[in-house]
Structure 1
Amino acid sequence: MIEYVARSGPPEAMNCPAFICDTCRNQVVAEGIVTWATTIGRDGDRGPHQQTPVYVAHKGRCGRGLELWIEQHYPAADGWIDLWDDLEDFVCQLTHNLTNAFADDTEGTYHPHRLVHPKERR
């Protein structure tokens, strides 16, 4: 996930936002993925859809482990689809959305969704 990591030292102490791997808990630098699951697109249902938080992992072993964890907590049998994206692409889209409101997009439709944390699942 994106977390603030405390830093001390010159020129001043600060909290630094960083991508922290949800598998090994180390910082993800350059080669990483974001992964999540959603119910969007199932059987033509127009929503409201459910979505998990977005998780971060290193590519490779950490990413595969995190995807297995997501599949266990959000099973396909319950209508969940797991998705992932390269961290670099995620950051580009996030930067774009910082200054471009969904409401101003006349060509697309943004679907309502409900965020579902693992502890909420029954």
Structure 2
Amino acid sequence: MVKENALLWEVTFWEFFWITIVLAGGAAYLTGRAVARSWSSGIQLAVYMIMLTAACRFIHFALFHGTLLSIQYYIVDLIVLLIFAFIGRQVTRAKQMTTQYSFDYQRSGAAGWARKT
């Protein structure tokens, strides 16, 4: 396949979709869940996403002849993975708060909680 070199992906859109969004995005979501279950901070989750983004860039490099050390595409991948990770963390945290503190909190949407009145 011919590289597209778009603003958001270096390889073709489908390679970006399957590797960054589906594969690494799924791993980022699960990492966000794990961080929420251990009641760790968002900073720790961000550090994990920096490492996962490096692995994602390596997969682009090794399988699809992408650039390994490209700041632009590294930042794009990092932002995508941070979004997935913090969504996973927030959804899990909302479930934790409403389950463990059900006497004080109730669900407010898929990723939120509110005090009972």
TM-score by length of 1: 0.29
More strand by share: 1
TM-score by length of 2: 0.30
More helix by share: 2
